Amino acid sequence: SRRKPALDEKLSSPLQVFGQAKKQINGIFVNIQDYVANASERMTDMNIECPDVINEKELKSILDYRSKVKGICEVLTRDHMKVAFFGRTSNGKSTVVNAMLGDKVLPSGIGHTTNCFLQVEGSQTGEAYLVTEGSKEKQNVESVSHLAHALNYEKQLNEKELVHVYWPKDKCGLLRDDVALVDSPGVDVTPHLDDWIDAHCIDADVFVLVANAESTLMITEKNFFHKVSSKLSKPNIFILNNRWDASANEPEFLDQFNSQEQVRKQHMERATDFLVKELKVCTAEEAASRVFFISAKEVLQARVQERKGLAPNSGALAEGFITRYKEFEEFEHKFEECISKSAIKTKFLNHSQQGKHLIDEICKIMETIFKRSLEQTKIKGAQKKEYQEKLNFTNQQLENLTNMLKIKIRNVTDDVEDKVSKALNDEIRRLYVLV
Ligand code: GTP
Ligand code: MG
């Protein structure tokens, strides 16, 4: 009967579904690795002792599978969820990343600030450091201004280059749960969008378009996402209308109460049309949970205050701060659900299919060997009792291992899917309770 996955641990975020699935599939691949190692050692021995039972071709295949499984295991331990942020210069991409991290990690400011790709991910050692492309040297980062300096002056960085920023995991839940956040230079400052996409976007699970709510979606931003969706099938795209705090300060709006709502409606319609009709990446219903009106600057400020033990709403804030803050949290929640689900599908489903294929191929070889050895056993019959016993023992062991793993690998894809749907159902139930 089919084993149901155990979901005992309490999940505080949908991101942890990814962590659990990763742990589970890792465990299974470690088993497969043991099995293939065991099988190949046995076959190497048998090939020496009984060369008429196992041929060189079969032996070579098993050794090839052994290195393939090792390769998958290595990729698996590195697998993470990846989100990439795009938009025009100064729309607030770096500020959004910082707000999600809950701290001023990346340099932000007026004018053209970010001049290369920056990938923030959790540091294993607990220290903050950065590594530039093609280098292994860890450069210590003590502060944001230090980071900005290292990025701007010490190196002449190419806009296409990727700098890895490793930030202590204990400082941010997203990093702890294996999310890597990629900040980019403005899409308007480069003619090389295709190169960007090939170099940095192909393996992204989620894209966030950081738009400026004070203006409207620009052609350069739209073009970029048209290119992305021509290279990836149905990318997951969120649109953040950032700087929404500015709308609260518009003097015109103070007189006409509805104006802010009208601007929101207009942005919402345009963003929805873009996602649904132009890019065709989601339905109109889905678009409602893909478009948000936020102020990254306010959220960042509030979270920095909270870190210092102050109230989040201390400091000068525009009217409607709480509503905007809540909308940012809602975005984060939808984002977490989306990235976890997507990363499990794209990363682990592929591995588990590869795993199934490998096991099937290995089983075929084993079965051939098994049959051949039975024939050999019959032929040699009572001639050599000892030889026969050795063969029987090996056959039995190989058969047991093969069967056990066949069952395990069959279950893994279903388990991973089960986990996602269970976590989402729980979430929907939780929301119903809240409503
Ligand atoms: P580049 O890296 O140059 O492409 O810019 P960016 O998109 O990363 O923008 P960045 O985060 O550096 O923000 C640009 C400026 O806008 C900074 O001075 C931010 O403080 C400010 N800013 C960002 N988000 C908001 C917001 O929601 N409201 C307001 N009022 N200002 C914001
Ligand atoms: Mg920036």
pLDDT tens profile 100-129:
999 998 988 766 778 888 999 999 888 888
Condensed to tens digits (0 to 9), the pLDDT of residues 145-188 reads: 667 666 665 555 677 788 899 999 998 999 999 999 999 988 88
Extract long-range pairs of 41-45: CB within 8 Å, 24+ residues apart: 42/394, 42/397, 42/398, 43/369
C-alpha span between 372 and 56 (Å, rounded): 14
Mean pLDDT for 306-330 is: 86
The number of residues in the chain equals: 435
pLDDT tier at 83 (50, 70, 90 boundaries)?
very high
Element (H, E) at 422: helix 385-434
pLDDT tier at 202 (50, 70, 90 boundaries)?
confident
Ligand 2 centroid from CA 204, angstroms: 19
Of the two residues 355 and 387, the one the predictor is more confident about is 355
Instruction: For a ligand 1 pocket test, name from 86, 88, 90, 220 the mutation site with the most ligand atoms within 8 angstroms of its C-beta.
Output: 90
Indicate if the pLDDT at residue 317 is higher than 70.
yes
pLDDT tier at 4 (50, 70, 90 boundaries)?
very low
Instruction: For a ligand 1 pocket test, name from 91, 95, 328 the mutation site with the most ligand atoms within 8 angstroms of its C-beta.
Output: 95
Residue 408 has a pLDDT of 63
Ligand 2 centroid from CA 212, angstroms: 13
Nearest ligand for residue 93 CA: 1
At residue 24's C-alpha, the angle toward residues 330 and 41, to 5°, is 155
Residue 167 burial class via C-beta count within 10 angstroms: exposed 0-12, middle 13-18, buried 19 and up: buried
C-alpha span between 147 and 143 (Å, rounded): 6
Across the strands, what pairs with 129? 140, 166
C-alpha span between 342 and 420 (Å, rounded): 10
Query: What is the percent of the chain with per-residue pLDDT over 70, rounded to a whole number?
Result: 79
pLDDT tier at 139 (50, 70, 90 boundaries)?
confident
When mean pLDDT is compared across 192-201, 269-278, 298-307, the lowest value belongs to 192-201
C-alpha span between 17 and 13 (Å, rounded): 8
C-alpha span between 407 and 190 (Å, rounded): 51
Give the Å distances, CA to CA, from 128 to 164, 223, 229, 361: 11, 35, 34, 45
Residue 92 has a pLDDT of 95
Ligand 1 centroid from CA 300, angstroms: 11
What the block records as the tokens of 168 is: 């202590």
Ligand 2 centroid from CA 114, angstroms: 4
The residue among 188, 176, 189, 167 whose CA lies nearest residue 98 is 167
Residue 211 has a pLDDT of 96
C-alpha span between 2 and 412 (Å, rounded): 11
Other Cβ atoms closer than 10 A to 195: 12
pLDDT tier at 38 (50, 70, 90 boundaries)?
confident
The residue type of 341 is K
C-alpha span between 106 and 116 (Å, rounded): 12
Provide the ipTM. 0.99
Residue 101 has a pLDDT of 95
Nearest ligand for residue 324 CA: 1
Instruction: For a ligand 1 pocket test, name from 297, 301, 319 the mutation site with the most ligand atoms within 8 angstroms of its C-beta.
Output: 297
Condensed to tens digits (0 to 9), the pLDDT of residues 241-251 reads: 999 998 876 66
C-alpha span between 48 and 78 (Å, rounded): 38
Residues enclosing ligand 1, CB less than 6 A? 87, 89-95, 108-110, 112-114, 185-186, 242-243, 245-246, 295-297
Residue 6 has a pLDDT of 44
Whole-number average pLDDT of the chain: 82
CA distance between the termini of the chain? 38
